Chain A
Amino acid sequence: MVSLQSSAPFSQKTQSIAFRLGLAMLIILVVAVIATILAASRFGQAASDETFDRLLRGAALQIAERVYVSEGEVGVDLPVSAFELLSLAREDRVFYRVIGPEGRNLTGYEDLPLPDERKAGEPTIYATSFKGVPVRAVLMSRQLAERSMRGKVDIIVAQTTAERGALARSITTQAALIIAVAAVVLFFISMFVLQIALRPLTRVEKAILAREANDLSPLDVAAPREVAVLVSAINRFMGRLDQRIEAMQNFVADAAHQIRTPITALRAQAQLALGEKDPQRLERLHRRLYARSVGLGRLADQLLSHALISHRADVATLEAIDLRRVAIEAEREILAIANQPIAVSLPDDEVMVKGDAVSLREAVKNLLSNAVKHGAHPIGVTVTTEAEDRAVILVRDAGRGMAESQRARIGQRFIGDGISPESAGLGLSITASVAQMHQARILCRNGNGFEIGLEMPRVEH
C-alpha cells in the first residue's frame, strides 16, 4: 500500500509564496523609493535653483534700472532694495559687479568672473566660484541709448549657494520622508493583502490534512481560479493515484489467482509422481510436470512483463525509434527461447515512430510467443508503412487464429481459460496496454492465416 504521509518528506521545500511576493514587493519598493528620491533630489535642486535665481534676476534688474548717464559718464546708483532682496537668502554672501560700456569696472568686485558664454537678449545664469566658494551668478546687460552714450552696461550679481542647497535638501528630505513612509505603509498593506490572497491555499492545505489516509476522492474546496488550477491538478493526480492503486490491487489479486491454480496443479501432479511406480506413467507425469512448469514460468514472465509495461506506460518517455529495429530485436529474443525460424520482412527505409522501445519489443515478443505456442508454421513478422503517416508491425502465422468471442475481449486482463498454462490472454493484454500507451490500434485479421499487430502514427525522423 502506498502511504500518503510517507511522500511528505520527499517534497522539496522552497521559499514560501508570501516570502517570495514580499521580497519582490520589497525590492520593487526599494527600487521605486530610490528612483523617486533621486528624482525628488533633482526636482528639489531645480525648484530651489528657480526660486533663488529669481532673486538674483530681480536684484540684477533693480540694479540695471538704476544705471544712469550723467554728463557723459555712466554711473550706477545701487538700490538697497536689490540687496535686501538678496538678503532673503539669509545665510548667503552676495557679490556684485557693474561693468561700463568700455569694459571699465564701474563698481563692485572687480574680479567677479564673467560667464563662459552669454545668452543674447536675456540674462545669463551661471555657476562659478568666487573667493574660493561656489556661487551662482546672473549677468544682465542694459543697452544705453542716450544721446551722449551708446553701448551696454553689464551687471553681475552672484550669491553663495548655502540657502539654495538647504532648500533643495529640505525639499528632497521631505519628499524622501513621505516616499519612505508611503513605501513602508504600502509594504505592510501589501503583506496584509497577500495574507488574504493566500488564504485559499491554507484552506486547501487544511482540507488535505483533514482527510483519511486512504481517501483519494477529489477535493471539494472553493478556490479562486489560480488555486482552482492547483486543486484540479491535485485532484487529477489523486485520480491517477487511485487508478494505479486500484490497478495494482487488481493485478495482485489476479496474479495470485492465476498463479495459485497452476501451482496447485503442479503440486498435485508432483505428489502423484512421488507415489507412481510404473515407469511409463511416471514418465508421462514427468512430461506433464515439465509442461506445467514451462507454462508457469511463462505466466510469471508475462505477469512481470505486464507489470513492467504498466509501469513504463506511466514513466517512460516516448522517443523516436525505428520500428524495424523493434521487429529484429523481438525476433532475436524469441528465437533464443522458441527455437523456430521466424521470417522477418522489413522495408528498406527506416520506419520511425514515437514510442518506448522496451514496451514495443515486449508487445511484439508476446505476439510472436503466442504465434509460436498457438499458431502454425510458418511464422513471420512484418513492418510496413500504410498511407503517408501510419506504420504497421504485424505478426503472422498460418494457424486458425482467434475466435470471434476471444477477439472481442482483447485488452481485458487475462483472457483465455486462465488455467491453461499456454494461455495467451496476458500476452494480448500486454499488447493492448502498449497500444494504448502509443495511441496505436490493434490490427487483427483472419484470412489466409492469422495476422495480429499494431498500427501507429509515423513520425518524421
Chain B
Amino acid sequence: MKRLAPLIAMALAASISEARQFDLPPADGGQVVEELVIESTTDLAVFRPMVEAFQLRNPGLAVTYHELTSNEIAARQEEACMSGEFLADVVISSAVDQQLKLVNDGCAKPLLLAEAERLPDWARWRNELFGFTFEPAVMVYNRAWFREQGAPQSRFELIDLLRSSTYYTGRIGTYDIASSGLGYFFAFQDALQAGTWGRVVESLGRNNAKLYCCTFEILERVADGRLLIGYNVLGSYALDYIEEDDRIGIVLPRDYTLVMARAAFVPRQARSPLAASRFIDFMLSSQGRDILSNDMRLLSPIDGAERLERLTGQKADDLETFRPISMTPALLVGLDEAKREIFMRQWRAALPGPTSRR
C-alpha cells in the first residue's frame, strides 16, 4: 500500500501535496564529501534500494530525496529553469511528456553516459533525457471470473467481449483521464496508435466503465471482484501487486502494448552534476537494472522486454508487440492546452459521468 503512494500523489495532479523530504546520510556513516538532491515522483520506499546501492558505491555521498507529484515537479522545475534557482541535481518523473517539455525548453544539462549508449533510441533524447524503466500499459482481470472462458488477449477480444454480453456493465474500470496524468498520457498515446481506440472508448462508454484516479483503486477492485477488467493499467504496479495477491491476472495486449519509461534529467543549474550523471548511469548499469527489475518491477528499457516475458509468463509473439512511447517532441502535443481540451471533449462524449468514487 505504501508503495503506491506516489501513484496516488501523481494522479491527484490538481491538489498540491506537501513535499516530503528525506535525508540519507552517507552509507558508511562517515563525513559528507558530496551531496546529491533528487526530486522524484517515485516514493522513496520504492526507490530506496537504488539510492542505497548507489551510496554504497559512493562513500561520503549524502542524498536528499524529495517526493513530489509530477505536476509539482513540472511547475517547480519550469520556474527554476527560468530563474536559475537550484532545486535538484536529478529530476525523475513518470510524466515523460512534462519531462520532455522541460528538456525542450532547455532546462537540462547534456550528459555523456557510458551506459546510456545501450539505451534504445526511444528511451533517450538529446543526451539530456534518459528513460530508465520499462513499464507497460496492461489489462488486468479477475482470475476467478475468467477461469473458464479465458481473459481477452487483445483490444479486439476486449471489444468483442464487451459487445457479447451486458454482464460487464459497470464492471470495467480505467483511469479518469481528467484526474490521472498517467491515465491521460496512456489514453492520448493509445489514441495515436491504432483505429481501435474509437471502438475501445465507445465500448467502455456503452458499458458504463468506471473511472478511477489511481492504479491501486483499480487493482483492488479487480482483485475483490467489484470490477472484472481493468484497462490500460500501469503494468509495473500490477506486477508488484500480484506478488502478494494472485486474484489478479495480467494481460499484455497482443495487438500492441504501450510501454513508457520513467525519465530522468539533470537540471542545468545542478550543483553536483557529476554525482547526478553517475547516478543516472548507475540506474542504467547492470546492477541498477537488477535493482529496478527485481526489487521494483520497474524493469529497464535496455532489457525490459525479455524480463517482462519471464515475469508474466506470457510470450509476446514478437517484440513488435511492444510500442514504446518515444521520447520525441511529439509528446509536446499532448501537453498543448488546446489539444488537451479537444481530446477531453471527445473522451467525455463517450464517457460522460463524473468519476465514480467509493
Given contacts A78-B336, A78-B339, A106-B338, contact A84 B105 (CB under 8 A): no
Pull 20 A–B residue pairs with CB atoms less than 8 Å apart, ordered by A.
Answer: A77-B338, A77-B339, A78-B336, A78-B339, A80-B330, A80-B333, A83-B329, A83-B330, A83-B332, A84-B330, A87-B326, A87-B328, A93-B104, A93-B105, A93-B106, A94-B104, A94-B329, A106-B338, A107-B336, A107-B337
B342 partner, pick from A77, A83, A84, A131, beta carbons under 8 A: A77
A402 to chain B, nearest CB (A): 110
- Chain B's closest residue to A106 (CB) is B338
Instruction: Give the nearest-CB partner of A109 in chain B.
Output: B105
Return B124 CB to nearest CB of chain A, in Å.
10
For the complex of A and B, the 3 pairs showing the least CB-CB separation, nearest first, are A87-B328, A94-B329, A83-B330
A101 at the A/B interface (Cβ < 8 Å)? no
Residue of A nearest to B331 (CB): A83
- Shortest CB–CB separation between residue A80 and chain B, in angstroms? 5
Q: Are B328 and A93 in contact (CB under 8 A)?
A: no
New contact pairs (6) apart from A87-B329, A94-B104, A98-B338, CB-CB < 8 Å: A77-B338, A80-B330, A84-B328, A93-B106, A96-B332, A108-B336
Q: Which positions in B face A, CB cutoff 8 Å? A: 103-106, 121, 126, 192, 326, 328-330, 332-333, 336-339, 342
B342 to chain A minimum Cβ distance, whole angstroms, is: 5
**CB-nearest residue of chain B to A76:** B338
User: For the complex, what is the distance from the CA of A107 to the CA of B62, rounded to whole Å?
Assistant: 42
| CA gap between A78 and B338 in the complex, in Å | 8
By a CB distance below 8 angstroms, the chain B residues around A106 are 338
- Chain A residue at minimal CB-CB distance from B326: A87
Report A14 CB to chain B, min CB distance, Å.
Answer: 56
Compute how far the CA of A87 lies from the CA of B329 in the bound complex, rounded to whole angstroms. 6
Hey, which chain B residues are within 8 Å of A83, CB to CB? Answer: 328-330, 332-333
Residue of chain A at shortest CB distance from B337: A107
| Residues in chain B near residue A275, CB distance under 8 A | none
> B330: which A residues are within 8 A, CB to CB?
80, 83-84, 87
Interface size class of chain A, counting residues whose CB lies under 8 Å from the partner chain: 20 to 34
- Taking CB atoms, residues of chain B closer than 8 Å to A78 are 333, 336, 338-339
How far, in angstroms, from A95 to B126 measured CA to CA in the complex? 15
Contacts of B105 in A (CB 8 A): 93, 131
- Interface membership of A75, Cβ < 8 A: yes
Main secondary structure of the interface of A (DSSP, over half): mixed
Interface flag for A133 (CB, 8 Å): yes
Q: A80-B330, A86-B329 are in contact. Are A75 and B104 (CB under 8 A)?
A: no
Distance in Å: Cβ of A110 to nearest Cβ of chain B: 12
Bound: A277/B329 CA distance, A: 141
In the assembly, what is the distance between CA of A85 and CA of B347, in Å? 26
Give the chain B neighbours of A98 by CB distance below 8 A: 338
**What is the CA–CA distance of A77 and B338 in the complex, to the nearest angstrom?**
7
Whether B329 contacts A80 by the Cβ 8 Å rule is no
Q: How far is the CA of A84 from the CA of B342 in the complex (A)?
A: 19
Q: Give the complex CA separation of A87 and B121 in angstroms.
A: 12
- B126 with A91: CB separation less than 8 A: yes
* Residues of chain A within 8 A of B329, CB atoms compared: 83, 86-87, 92-94
The answer for the CA separation of A94 and B331 in the assembled complex, in Å, is 11
Contacts of A80 in B (CB 8 A): 192, 330, 333
- Whether A9 sits at the interface, judged by CB under 8 Å, is no
User: In the complex, which residues of chain B have a beta carbon less than 8 angstroms from the beta carbon of A279?
Assistant: none
> Could you tell me if A107 and B328 are in contact, using CB atoms closer than 8 angstroms?
no
**Centre residue among B121, B126, B328 by max chain A CB count within 10 A:** B328
Does A121 make an interface contact (CB < 8 A)? no
> Nearest Cβ in chain A — how far from B191, in angstroms?
9
A103: CB under 8 A from chain B? no
Q: Please measure, in the bound complex, the distance between the C-alpha atom of A75 and the C-alpha atom of B337, giving whole angstroms.
A: 11
How far apart sit A86 and B106, CA to CA, in the bound complex (Å)? 17
**In the docked arrangement, what's the CA distance between A107 and B121, Å?**
29
B116 to chain A, nearest CB (A): 14
Q: Which residues of A contact B104 (CB under 8 A)?
A: 93-95
Q: Which residues of A contact B339 (CB under 8 A)?
A: 77-78, 107
Least CB distance from A404 to B in Å reads: 112
Q: Which residues of B contact A94 (CB under 8 A)?
A: 104, 329, 332
A106–B103 CA distance with the chains assembled, in angstroms: 23
What is the bound-complex CA distance between A106 and B104, given in angstroms?
20
Q: Does A132 contact B (CB under 8 A)?
A: yes
- Of B192, B332, B338, which is within 8 A of A75 by CB? B338
Q: Which residues of B contact A91 (CB under 8 A)?
A: 126
Q: Kindly state the separation between the CA atoms of A77 and B337 in the bound complex, as whole angstroms.
A: 10
A374, B339: Cα distance in complex, Å:
132
CB pair B106–A133 under 8 Å, yes or no, is yes
Instruction: Give Cα A440 to B191, complex, Å.
Output: 113
Taken together as a complex, chains A and B put the C-alpha atoms of A106 and B338 apart, in Å, by: 8
**Bound-state Cα–Cα, A133 to B107, Å:** 12
**Cβ A132 vs Cβ B328 within 8 A:** no
CA distance A394 to B102 in the complex (A): 113
A26 to chain B, nearest CB (A): 40
A133→B329 CA distance, assembly (Å)? 17
A92–B332 CA distance with the chains assembled, in angstroms: 13
Closest beta carbon of chain B to A83's beta carbon, Å: 4
B113 to chain A, nearest CB (A): 16
Task: Indicate if the CB atoms of A132 and B336 lie closer than 8 Å.
Answer: no
Within 8 A of B (CB), among A39-91: 75-80, 83-84, 86-87, 90-91
> How far, in Å, is B326 (CB) from chain A's closest CB?
8
User: Which residues in window 91-147 of A have CB below 8 A to B?
Assistant: 91-96, 98, 106-108, 131-133
